[in-house]
Chain A
Amino acid sequence: KNEVEQSPQNLTAQEGEFITINCSYSVGISALHWLQQHPGGGIVSLFMLSSGKKKHGRLIATINIQEKHSSLHITASHPRDSAVYICAVRGGGGADGLTFGKGTHLIIQP
């Protein structure tokens, strides 16, 4: 069973700051997802990674398969980025269901 750890659990920053959220996992995977969950509960998929780096707007996600580690970066953070960011991994053994981290609660203050 994969263990997914995220850090930090909570993060408060000022608008404009560069944000980094980390995710590590214990067992090899076939894919890693970064998700965003707003207070109402709805989930938006931000990235799906199996190697390297992806960028979408102000968001950047990287993954190091050898080190079993991924990071999500937010550049020029804005209050509307305030949400819970969740790392989830898909196993390499054929099961497609995701294993989730506990999430990082991000608050960006104006």
Chain B
Amino acid sequence: GAVVSQHPSRVICKSGTSVKIECRSLDFQATTMFWYRQFPKQSLMLMATSNEGSKATYEQGVEKDKFLINHASLTLSTLTVTSAHPEDSSFYICSAQRGGYRYEQYFGPGTRLTVT
């Protein structure tokens, strides 16, 4: 149980285009989902917290107009990287928190984004 999927696992896009990454909780309802980013040789960093049906909360330094987060249902959150640039190339990973289980987070397998 408690499986989180991400799609796509890898994506290569041209500079200036937008990319959407999906994060799904497959067998539980996720009231909260988190988006993290990991640059090469660096630790994971929290980008934003997404609660179902409300606006995402972004960490300091993360542009909300560039990284659009939508948490439209209890099993799906999406991250759209708008007008992507090479410096956005990174490993994006989501985690989902089960409703009623505040401390438990389940991680997706991640999405490797390369912007050329």
Q: Which residues of A contact B (CB under 8 A)?
A: 30-31, 33, 35, 40-45, 48, 50, 86, 88, 90, 95-103
11 A-B contacts (beta carbon < 8 Å): A40-B109, A42-B107, A43-B110, A48-B103, A88-B44, A96-B102, A97-B49, A98-B46, A99-B46, A100-B43, A101-B43
Question: Which residue from B42, B95, B104, B107 sits with its C-beta under 8 Å from A102?
Answer: B42
A90 to B103: give the CA distance in the assembly, Å: 8
Q: Which residues of B contact A (CB under 8 A)?
A: 32, 34, 36, 38, 42-46, 49, 59, 91, 93, 95, 97, 102-107, 109-110, 112
Question: Which residue from B32, B34, B106 sits with its C-beta under 8 Å from A98?
Answer: B34
A103 to B91: give the CA distance in the assembly, Å: 15
A101 to B36: give the CA distance in the assembly, Å: 13
Which residues of chain A come closer than 8 Å to B110, judged between CB atoms? 41-43
Q: Would A30 and B103 count as touching, CB distance under 8 A?
A: yes
Given contacts A96-B34, A100-B45, contact A45 B106 (CB under 8 A): yes
With A96-B49, A98-B34 known, 4 other A-B pairs at CB within 8 A are A35-B107, A45-B106, A100-B43, A101-B43
A35 to B59: give the CA distance in the assembly, Å: 22
A69 to B106: give the CA distance in the assembly, Å: 23
Question: Which residue from B32, B102, B107, B112 sits with its C-beta under 8 Å from A44?
Answer: B107
Which residues of chain A come closer than 8 Å to B32, judged between CB atoms? 96
CB distance from A47 to the nearest CB of B (A): 11
Which residues of chain A come closer than 8 Å to B36, judged between CB atoms? 98, 100
Given contacts A41-B109, A96-B49, contact A31 B43 (CB under 8 A): no
A89 to B46: give the CA distance in the assembly, Å: 12
